[in-house]
Structure 1
């Protein structure tokens, strides 16, 4: 696989509270924020964003780290991960609560809703950004949060990135507005563990809908970063997805697209 030029996306800059970041947009319809996994907006992440666009949504894909469109090689990916772990925007390790960048992401969701209209906004976070979609629930426009292979905090596999106060506020919002959170992981993933899913379930109750895929459902030949650095089945809808009929990862992708459709296009047929 080669780098992806992202030529079919519009490159914008969104600024909030003196923080400016590039956002790649494409499509029409209600907005969905697609947050890349480590080490950045890879061709597989862009492929997922195109699926979201093709399902009838306006994708907003923020550039949070890494080289946009780059094929995820091992050495470069390690360097991106090390820089992100040291950045003040992210809290890769336990004890600090939600990453500060989530404030900017909530503002992006609000702006996307103003631009795209509809009843609200969807959001999916993956790996390093997985829990960001949960923090974004505190923005009233976010109606469809998806957590894929949440990896933070890196130093405590039984913890979640949100602190107790945020988790309570999220649960209150989910219950008040009758919302749910979809989440995905592979059974043997050492970055997103069964203990972490149990912590989410304890904090959010039946508002948390967790899906666990068998390890053998993962693409056996992912890009070098995922083969050599991650080293386990991990990326449910990107690097480890097998795009074939009957595959659990494709079914997970379709469930996510249906979730966005039900929440963001209520009363509209799936083909509409």
Structure 2
């Protein structure tokens, strides 16, 4: 394992191996920093950009043990349209991700659930937080199936791609996983969601989540058609809401 450099040099580099939902064994690098309750923060496309790492550093400063899975892209590389196009061409053909299929949980959710369980077993408390954004936004819901996840946060979830009305309403979960998520929500596990109200990439997913989860879905809509709520198009109110939500749900 190569030691992190640049923006991530103060983070501890490791790796985690576990099965995906389709039974394949997956291994991904991880970066870890901080102390306190655990939070798994999953990067967006094209990867772990400086804005993403900066947001993760804020969570560390707020008193959390933050773990960053590295799923694709070059860690620390800046955002560019070229990098977005390159990574999209890769992830769209990888079996661990779902980009267009409806009513299906991305297989990588199995690996992410295992990572959350391991972190929870180490740190204790009521559970860990799980935050996904854009391409990985719905992964936090897929992780919520596991009781180790006590604070799921969805930032502008964008998969499956909203190219049809039915896909625009889909929440990237199989019917069985959606049933478990609804049960957990009914039992008191709330879900925080952030998006720009005019963002075409998020479709009508928040409408679906309001219908399926009721008052357990905490919906935050910002005005405008921008996209990345806590990174490139950062809303300080959104960052503050995320920190407050994690503190409330993960307090020991």
Extract structure 1 runs of 4+ deviating beyond 6 A: none
1:235 is aligned, of 209, 225, 228, to: 228
Equivalence map 1:25-104=2 (5 Å): 25-95=32-102, 97-104=104-111
Find the counterpart in structure 2 of residue 219 from structure 1.
Answer: none
Find the counterpart in structure 2 of residue 263 from structure 1.
Answer: 249
2:198 is aligned, of 181, 188, 203, to: 188
Which structure 2 segments of 5+ residues have no match? 20-24
Distance (whole Å) between structure 1 residues aligned to residue 118 and residue 250 of structure 2: 16
Check whether the contact 2:103–2:170 (CA below 8 A) recurs between aligned residues: no
* Offset of residue 5 of structure 1: 3.2
* Offset of residue 95 of structure 1: 2.6
Check whether the contact 1:41–1:69 (CA below 8 A) recurs between aligned residues: yes
Q: TM-score, normalised by structure 2?
A: 0.91
Equivalence map 1:1-272=2 (5 Å): 4-17=6-19, 18-95=25-102, 97-154=104-161, 155=163, 156-176=167-187, 178-193=188-203, 195-215=204-224, 233-241=226-234, 249-266=235-252
Say how many residue pairs are matched.
Answer: 239
Instruction: Provide the secondary structure at the position in 1 that maps to 2:31.
Output: strand
Q: TM-score, normalised by structure 1?
A: 0.85
Check whether the contact 2:7–2:53 (CA below 8 A) recurs between aligned residues: no
Check whether the contact 2:186–2:213 (CA below 8 A) recurs between aligned residues: no
- RMSD (CA atoms): 1.4
Instruction: Provide the secondary structure at the position in 2 that maps to 1:5.
Output: helix
